[in-house]
Amino acid sequence: MGKIIAVVNQKGGVGKTTTSINLAASLGILKKKTLLVDLDPQGNATTGVGMERGDIKNSIYEVLIKKCEIENSIIKTKSKNLWLIPAYLNLAGVDMELVELEREYREKNEPFSRVNRLKEEISKIKDNYDFIIIDCPPSLGILTTNALAASDSVLIPVQCEYFALEGIMQLINTIMLAQKKVNPNLDIEGVLLTMLTANTNLGLEVIESIRSFFKERVYDTIIPRLIRLAEAPSHGKPILEYEPRSRGTLAYLNLAKEVIERNGTKEESTR
Ligand SMILES: Nc1ncnc2c1ncn2[C@@H]1O[C@H](COP(=O)(O)OP(=O)(O)O)[C@@H](O)[C@H]1O
Ligand SMILES: [Mg+2]
């Protein structure tokens, strides 16, 4: 049964998309069938695995508003064991569309839950994958709520910077609210330190404060700040294809191994 992990932080620029792409690709290389779901209207995870607007017939937007079956939105990427449900800018308007749909269904006396749309759809296909990774937008709106409702757990990237913990309480509150209202089983998968600049005291201080706050939930793997990781998406490749021997590749492979280990499955898929 597929494990569904939402990569969440309402702060922009903390490494959600970079982590979603590279964790998903690394899980794929480690023989896990993985589906990457782009849930950000910016579509950076989509282009980051090499899909252009022209490659996309149906995106997560059409799935959420019931214009297409989820099976028909899934694209095989060039990466091993990695599939994608893409997103592009039209997703930005999904909020209003869902409100409108909810009204239409209510008039017909048919059930419709706009916060559970992603969950309803993903549940149809989740058994086809070992892992489903959802790249969330930098907000706590309807899209992130859908992700929290649909997921087994959340992975929180935290940038190694001075204000790292700023906004974390709001995020924790949102996760607790989601547990109460839409998903009592929602777990914290782990906290990932990202963009560590080598040899700075500041970085070490931040690591310490985040470790004392989140304790053993923090992954041992820390993602270094590397120009190669920032470059890879513009070539439409995960780091392990763009620069297989880079420290970024090693870091995300190590993260994937930790994720696999925490989920108590062997690295070798039984499928
Ligand atoms: N480890 C890293 N080293 C260097 N640049 C990074 C790293 N992680 C992310 N970036 C860059 O920082 C910016 C924000 O990262 P991104 O993953 O898009 O964050 P988010 O999805 O949270 O907004 C992007 O330009 C990305 O290429
Ligand atoms: Mg992003």
Q: 225 CB less than 6 Å from ligand 1?
A: yes
Q: 229 CB less than 6 Å from ligand 1?
A: yes
Which pLDDT belongs to residue 245? 96
pLDDT of 268 over the 70 cut: no
Residue 198 C-alpha from the chain's centroid = 26
Q: Supply the residue whose CA is at minimum distance from atom 27 of ligand 1.
A: 230
What integer is the mean pLDDT of 2-7?
Answer: 97
Which pLDDT belongs to residue 265? 57
Tell me the pLDDT band of 159, cut-offs 50, 70 and 90. Answer: very high
CA distances from 185 to 58, 170, 193 (A): 30, 19, 24
- Main-chain dihedrals φ then ψ at residue 75, nearest 5 degrees: -115, 135
Tens digit of each residue's pLDDT (9 = 90 or more) over 24-64: 999 999 999 999 999 999 999 999 999 988 889 999 999 99
Instruction: Name which of 42-56, 157-171, 217-231, 251-265 the model is least confident about.
Output: 157-171
For ligand 1, mutation pick of 14, 17, 18, 26 (most atoms within 8 Å of CB): 18
pLDDT of 199 over the 80 cut: no
Q: How much is the mean pLDDT over the chain?
A: 94
- Note the ligand closest to the C-alpha atom of 38: 2
- Side chain identity at 171, as an amino acid letter? L
CA-nearest of 162, 124, 167 to 12 is 167
- The beta strands (E) that lie in the chain are given as 3-7, 34-38, 75-76, 82-85, 131-135, 153-159, 187-196, 218-224
Q: 17 CB less than 6 Å from ligand 1?
A: yes
**Is the separation of the CB atoms in 19 and 66 below 8 Å?**
no
Q: 75 CB less than 6 Å from ligand 1?
A: no
pLDDT of 1 over the 70 cut: yes
> How remote is the CA of residue 201 from the centroid of ligand 1, in Å?
21
Which pLDDT belongs to residue 267? 46
- Side chain identity at 239, as an amino acid letter? I
CA distance 92 to 94: 6
Q: 195 CB less than 6 Å from ligand 1?
A: yes
pTM given for the model? 0.96
What integer is the mean pLDDT of 208-224?
Answer: 94
What integer is the mean pLDDT of 7-17?
Answer: 96
Tell me the pLDDT band of 266, cut-offs 50, 70 and 90. Answer: very low
3-262 CATH choice from 3.30.70.3000, 3.40.50.300, 3.20.170.30, 1.10.357.10: 3.40.50.300
Q: What is the dihedral of CA 15, 17, 18, 21, to 10 degrees?
A: 150
pLDDT of 113 over the 70 cut: yes
> How remote is the CA of residue 135 from the centroid of ligand 2, in Å?
7
Give residue limits of the domains in the chain: 3-262
Q: Supply the residue whose CA is at minimum distance from atom 13 of ligand 1.
A: 13
